[in-house]
Structure 1
Amino acid sequence: MKFDNILVNHQEDIATVTINRPNKLNALNRDTIQELHDAFKALNKDKNVKVIIVTGSGEKAFVAGADIAEFSDFSEKEGAKLSAKGQKLLFDYVENLATPVIAAVNGFALGGGLELAMACHFRVASDNAKMGLPEVSLGVIPGYGGTQRLPQLVGKGRANEMIMTAGMIDAQKALAYGLVNYVVTPEELLPLCNKLAGKITNNSSVAIAYAIKAVNAGFSTDTDGFEKEIKAFGECFGTDDFKEGTTAFLEKRKANFE
Structure 2
Amino acid sequence: MTTKTSAYLEIRTDGPVASLVLNRPDKLNALTIPTLDALDQACGELERSRDIRVVILSSTNAKAFCAGADISEWGTLPPTDMWRLWTRVGHRIFDRLAQLPQPTIAAIDGLALGGGLELALACDLRVAGPASRFGLPETKIGAVPGWGGTIRLQGAVGVPQAKRLIFTGAQIDAAEALRIGLVQEVVASESAQTRVMELANEIAGNAPFAVRLTKQLLDAKTGGVPAETIAAGLAALLEDGQEGVRAFKEKRKPVFKDA
- Mark yes or no: TM-score above 0.5: yes
Shift, 1:187, TM fit = 4.0
Alignment check: 8 A CA contact 2:46 2:100 kept = no
Alignment check: 8 A CA contact 1:96 1:212 kept = no
For 1:66, give the aligned amino acid.
Answer: A
Counterpart-to-counterpart distance in 1, 2:230 and 2:118: 30
For 1:78, give the aligned amino acid.
Answer: D
Unaligned runs of 5+ in 2: 239-259
For 1:84, give the aligned amino acid.
Answer: R
Is 1:133 equivalent to 2:133 in the alignment? no
1:204 to 203, 207, 211: 207
1:156 to 159, 182, 190: 159
Instruction: Name the larger-Rg structure.
Output: 2
Is 1:6 equivalent to 2:9 in the alignment? yes
For 2:195, give the aligned amino acid.
Answer: L
- Give the alignment's TM-score, normalised by structure 2: 0.83
Alignment check: 8 A CA contact 2:109 2:191 kept = no
Shift, 1:238, TM fit = 5.3
Matches within 5 A, 1:107-186: 107-186=110-189
Shift, 1:22, TM fit = 0.8
Instruction: Please provide the CA RMSD for this pair.
Output: 2.4
Counterpart-to-counterpart distance in 2, 1:233 and 1:2: 36
- The C-alpha deviation readout for 1:142-166, integer Å capped at 9, x for no partner, is 0000111101111111111100111
For 1:19, give the aligned amino acid.
Answer: L
Structure 1 segments of 4 or more deviating over 4 A? 229-234, 236-239
Identity %: 36
2:27 to 24, 40, 59: 24
Unaligned runs of 5+ in 1: 240-258
- Give the alignment's TM-score, normalised by structure 1: 0.84
Is 1:235 equivalent to 2:234 in the alignment? yes
Aligned length: 234
1:83 to 74, 87, 103: 87
Counterpart of 1:10 in 2: which secondary structure?
strand
For 1:139, give the aligned amino acid.
Answer: G
Shift, 1:229, TM fit = 8.1
Alignment check: 8 A CA contact 1:13 1:50 kept = yes
For 2:87, give the aligned amino acid.
Answer: S
- The C-alpha deviation readout for 1:174-203, integer Å capped at 9, x for no partner, is 000111010014545112111111111122
Counterpart-to-counterpart distance in 2, 1:229 and 1:103: 28
